Amino acid sequence: MVKTLSSMLLVISLIAVAGCAREIPQNIISNVDTAITFSMLIKDPSGYKGKTVMTGGEVISSVNESSGTTSLEIMELPLESDYKPEKGDRSSGRFIAVYRGYLETHIFRPGRFVTVVGVVEAPQKGTIGSMPYVFPVIDTTYIKLWPIVHRSNLPAYSIGLGFDYGPDLFPPWGYYPYGPFWY
């Protein structure tokens, strides 16, 4: 009985640890110069040319170029511990991520969240609206497109070991605004 219980706890622990695993491979992360923050990069984009950085944010626009590359204009957002961009209104600016190849612009559309690893290139002059702007440019070696998560303003309720029951998890047969409702 004790052996079965300890085996079951081990399996649950392994599942919990696997659920916390980062989605960006360690060999990609190991190439990043973690001393360079986006705030540093935005202040002096030319000063970090040739350095490998990781940043992320929300796609503002995406364009497939005739040269065979895809350019993404991204509003930088701070990265969480799993390297996913944090939703919110804290941004240090925008940057251009250049991907050497084709990315479907309907998938990499405005509003999607990405994390980018790449080499800093020469900055590019442009505009945001009619305001002149100098964009840091990152020649992308890795890009992670994060899945869309639909959230509700209704609270979720935890009822045990890792199982949440809330508005995102209601069964398809219906719900009541203040909790579950079965017919």
- CA dist 60 and 79 (Å) reads 17
Question: What tokens were used for 97?
Answer: 């991520």
CATH architecture of the region 24-145: Beta Barrel (2.40)
Question: How many other C-beta atoms can be found within 10 angstroms of the C-beta atom of residue 72?
Answer: 25
Q: What are the beta bridge partners of residue 39?
A: none
Six-digit token pair at 164?
């949440």
Asked whether the beta carbons of 48 and 120 are under 8 A apart, the reply is yes
Give the pair of three-digit tokens for residue 129.
Answer: 């609206």
* Cα–Cα distance for residue pair 68/64, rounded to 1 Å: 7
Q: Each residue's pLDDT tens digit in the chain (183 positions)?
A: 555 545 554 444 444 444 444 588 898 899 999 999 999 999 999 999 999 999 999 999 999 999 999 999 999 999 999 999 999 889 999 999 999 999 999 999 999 999 999 999 999 999 999 999 999 999 999 999 999 876 666 665 555 555 555 555 555 444 445 545 444
pTM reported for the whole predicted model: 0.71
User: In the chain, what's the furthest Cα-to-Cα distance?
Assistant: 71
Domain range summary for the chain, segments of one domain joined by +: 24-145, 150-183
